[in-house]
Structure 1
Amino acid sequence: MGVQLSLKLPPVTGPHPVSCTDIMVGHSKEGSFFRLFYPCGSSHDVQYPMWLPRSEYVTALAKYLGWDSSITPYISSLIFGHPQVPVPWSAPFVTGVDKKPLIIFSHGLGAFRTVYSALCMQLASHGFLVAALEHRDGSACATYHFADDDPTNAPLKEVWVPFSKVEVGMKEFYLRNYQLHHRANECVRVIQILRDINAGAVFNVLKSDFDLQALKGRMDFNNVAIMGHSFGGASTLLSLAKDDTLRCAIALDAWMFPLEDASYTNIQKPILFINAEHFQTTSSIQKMKRLNAGNRESKAITILGSVHHSLSDSAFLSGFLADRILQPRAKLNPEQCLQATITSALSFLQKHLGLITPLSDFIILMPAPRMFAPDVLWTRVL
């Protein structure tokens, strides 16, 4: 029996073909690094990006999973293989004059910018520009920036940011709360960077065939949402209090622990909580209810048969080791969970961003009602 994991992400279901590219603005840690998923035009020279962008991510992910560091550089590459994201790399942006709504996406603890590709691809196929951040607060399994802000110094030296563990004697809340504010500030920063890209005034530090000028004047800053999973879910909530540009948030199985009590009164925008069946505690649910009480448009659903990692690409990992690493395994098929998540998200975004696409076009995709479980104290969702 082979040990290699297999990752097969489903194709997009929306009306637009999708591409993606990496954008790094600023050489230092204070800059921003994200993968942009976007509706694209036709591309004749199709190349598919790697889901694990570089070997450093393979090693870091294996280390985060607790594997023996002495064998991970070789063994982890054998185990993870070379999975690809099934969309063209850096294809031309879709032509036209219409402005596209924006979604900022924040990853969970130990993840990085590609770990939610299935979700981001699907959203982009429905006409969104999705900026999937790679956080530099020490919550990604690994990320990097450059040591020098002088672009004339080539080649630039890479500085890798490792995962930050909770040290012995350290109270986890203080570390994670500090990281949470750092993450929310990064989310706000990328909105400003997207504004600069929209104005045609941004240089991509990374070598890329994608023409950023194609995005000039094509972003709709009246319709900006934020979305995130786990630690990223908490990051989306705090971001709502930091930038009025954001009109609503979608929190995927949010990790509520790092969010301080004082921030609750500042979070007043509509929120959609999409929870897995097996993750949330009674305390976390009470915190969600407290936030929902601040806005009548905030809702919550639970997707029955799902687990915490059902809302990331890891749900699509298969193979002998997947059953060992990903515990507990979900009862719900990952394609069904993705469909339920996307359909719920699109319906919520259509309402709160005032999108032109009729709600009925999304509702027709709704899975069977038994997949959804509204909390007994909350109103029916969507």
Structure 2
Amino acid sequence: MGLEAPLSLIEGALLGGLLAAAACRVAWPGRWRPAGPRACLALAALALAQAFWSGFTWQFVGGYALLSVLAWPWRARRRWSRLAGAIGLAGLMLAALGPWAILPSPRLPAPRGPHPVGSTIYRWVDGGRAELATPDAADRRHVVAQAWYPAAAARGRKVAYMDGLGRLPGSVYGLPRFIFRRFGETDTHAALDAPVSTGQARWPVVIFSPGYGAPRAVYAGLLADLASQGYVVVALDHPYESAIVQLADGRVVGPAPFQARGDTGVPHMERQVLVRAADVRFVLDRLARGDGLGPLSRRLDLTRVAAIGHSFGGATAVLIASRDARIRAAADIDGMLYGDVRAAGLRGPLLLLESGGTQQMPRYVRATRAVMAEVPAGGWRYAIGGSNHLSFTDAERFLSPPTRWVAARVMHGPRGAADTQAVAVDILEAFLRGPLRDEPADVTAVAARSAQAWPSR
């Protein structure tokens, strides 16, 4: 899938050197005494070079402690003290290795489609809607959208992976902000404000809504891949629900207090999906105005629009598609349905794409069957075997390969994000080709090419 190595060469050399030096000191103390000072000097030089090249990397804090102990000229003369020293060094080796369960920055696969990818970001304010998530009655609703699109060339400044880097709140996703310090290094494989491809005068549009609490950033791998197939994919952030959003006035905000307290019961979700649907409707209206769209001005075919989303975003996509005639197709990726979905109002087909057949909760099964049975244009329902709910996101790419392996088995979905997203994009592209391009496409045949994508009943 074109993935980069999880560690840079210098990081791998430093981490491997620290662990090898510690193992040598424990296993061959006699050989270590003459060679140890030179080894520690070499490791210290490597640590300085790494810090100069990449800046402070919190994952190396345990490694620095290990290096300090290795450089200390202690000698254990008694057996018990040698044993204690070996146990202490083993503990420091674990402390040096453990933080690397989380990588300094995610490594994303290159898009597979025929088009290079550009991206531009819009930070808008809906002056007609009050912001209900803040105490200030004068606050208006902010909506942030990032468009990923077919570009003439992928040259220019790369698009940042996530909002607010350098100005993050104390925690994001419940993790301390220092964990994200180097996320600016992530290559999104998209050029900021690149000229749009001249392959078509106007390009079909796909509106994407993320999962509950998830920022648009964690879908960058999927969104760039879909855009490279020939679609303008407009991904929304829903402020005061998303983990992190940078607003039009420059503020960087996280979840509102009621979201932060975990108020995610069904009544809250039923209310919140209406807020999200209004965000999508506002974005469609704003795109239709045509002004202030930068490279996408006069390049959008707004007669060919689809709505897709993951998890709670899938519920958003289906709800808005049932209420807005501008939307010609909808896809729900592994999402429970919420809101009063008027299936008969869906103008085009519906795709339900699930993770590994795990969506078997009675409420989900009842709701999706009822909706699918009433969609005038029909639709498809597939499960991607071996995937889990987070496989559609970039979340696993925050983790080192061994940690991914463990996490996948805990979540009962060993299929990785790269494979899951590739299969999902292939099925989505085949599904969208008819309503957005008027081209024949056999969704069933495309799904059948994946050994682990099957119809889900």
Instruction: Provide the TM-score with structure 1 as the length reference.
Output: 0.79
| Equivalence for 1:35 | 146
- Are the counterparts in 1 of residues 247 and 253 from structure 2 also a CA contact under 8 Å? yes
Are 1:8 and 2:107 matched, yes or no?
yes
Q: CA deviation at 1:302?
A: 0.5
| Equivalence for 2:255 | 162
* Aligned-partner Cα distance in 1 for 2:183–2:222: 21
Q: CA deviation at 1:354?
A: 3.8
| Equivalence for 1:19 | 118
Secondary structure of 1:373's counterpart equals strand
Change (3 A) 1:78 1:107: same
Q: CA deviation at 1:112?
A: 1.1
Are 1:289 and 2:369 matched, yes or no?
yes
Secondary structure of 1:122's counterpart equals helix
% identity of equivalent residues: 23
Are 1:98 and 2:98 matched, yes or no?
no
* Aligned-partner Cα distance in 1 for 2:112–2:221: 11
Q: CA deviation at 1:9?
A: 1.5
**Aligned partner (choices 170, 181, 186) of residue 279 of structure 2:** 186
Matches within 5 A, 1:204-243: 212=294, 214-243=295-324
- Are the counterparts in 2 of residues 323 and 329 from structure 1 also a CA contact under 8 Å? no
Is the helix fraction higher in 1 or 2?
Answer: 2
| Equivalence for 1:73 | 177
Q: CA deviation at 1:96?
A: 5.7
Q: CA deviation at 1:57?
A: 7.9
Which structure exhibits the higher relative contact order, with contacts defined as CA atoms closer than 8 Å and separated by 6 or more residues? 1
Q: CA deviation at 1:183?
A: 0.2
- Are the counterparts in 2 of residues 349 and 355 from structure 1 also a CA contact under 8 Å? no
**Aligned partner (choices 84, 88, 96) of residue 191 of structure 2:** 88
| Equivalence for 1:300 | 381
* Aligned-partner Cα distance in 1 for 2:437–2:184: 42
* Aligned-partner Cα distance in 1 for 2:378–2:445: 22
Change (3 A) 1:57 1:279: farther
* Aligned-partner Cα distance in 1 for 2:146–2:217: 7
Q: CA deviation at 1:313?
A: 1.6
- Are the counterparts in 1 of residues 206 and 231 from structure 2 also a CA contact under 8 Å? yes
Amino acid at match of 1:348: F
Change (3 A) 1:164 1:294: farther
Q: CA deviation at 1:54?
A: 2.2
* Aligned-partner Cα distance in 1 for 2:217–2:342: 30
Q: CA deviation at 1:24?
A: 1.6
* Aligned-partner Cα distance in 1 for 2:343–2:251: 40
Question: 5+ unaligned residues in a row in structure 1: which ranges?
Answer: 147-155, 205-211, 377-382
Secondary structure of 1:19's counterpart equals strand
| Equivalence for 1:174 | 267
- Are the counterparts in 2 of residues 166 and 175 from structure 1 also a CA contact under 8 Å? no
Kindly provide the CA deviation profile for residues 246-283 of structure 1, in whole angstroms up to 9, marking residues without a partner as x. 01101100132xx13x4345543421000002354232
Change (3 A) 1:325 1:89: farther
| Equivalence for 1:143 | 245
- Are the counterparts in 1 of residues 393 and 417 from structure 2 also a CA contact under 8 Å? no
* Aligned-partner Cα distance in 2 for 1:217–1:177: 36
In the comparison of the two structures, how many residue pairs are matched? 341
Q: Which moved more, 1:169-178 or 1:12-21?
A: 169-178
Q: CA deviation at 1:110?
A: 1.9
Change (3 A) 1:323 1:340: closer
* Aligned-partner Cα distance in 2 for 1:27–1:248: 25
Secondary structure of 1:110's counterpart equals coil
* Aligned-partner Cα distance in 1 for 2:455–2:281: 31
Instruction: Provide the TM-score with structure 2 as the length reference.
Output: 0.67
Secondary structure of 2:206's counterpart equals strand
* Aligned-partner Cα distance in 2 for 1:371–1:281: 21
- Are the counterparts in 2 of residues 251 and 273 from structure 1 also a CA contact under 8 Å? yes
Secondary structure of 1:342's counterpart equals helix
Amino acid at match of 2:451: R
**Aligned partner (choices 327, 340, 345) of residue 246 of structure 1:** 327
Change (3 A) 1:367 1:118: farther
* Aligned-partner Cα distance in 2 for 1:182–1:33: 14
Secondary structure of 1:248's counterpart equals strand
Amino acid at match of 1:248: A
- Are the counterparts in 1 of residues 308 and 330 from structure 2 also a CA contact under 8 Å? yes
Secondary structure of 1:30's counterpart equals strand
Kindly provide the CA deviation profile for residues 8-28 of structure 1, in whole angstroms up to 9, marking residues without a partner as x. 221111111111121123386
Are 1:131 and 2:267 matched, yes or no?
no
| Equivalence for 1:380 | none
**Aligned partner (choices 371, 375, 381) of residue 456 of structure 2:** 375
Following TM superposition, the consecutive aligned residue runs of length 4 or more in structure 1 with deviations greater than 6 angstroms are 167-171, 362-365
Higher gyration radius (CA): 2
Question: 5+ unaligned residues in a row in structure 2: which ranges?
Answer: 1-96, 128-139
- Are the counterparts in 2 of residues 85 and 117 from structure 1 also a CA contact under 8 Å? yes
Amino acid at match of 1:271: L
- Are the counterparts in 2 of residues 267 and 294 from structure 1 also a CA contact under 8 Å? no
Change (3 A) 1:244 1:84: same
Change (3 A) 1:81 1:369: closer
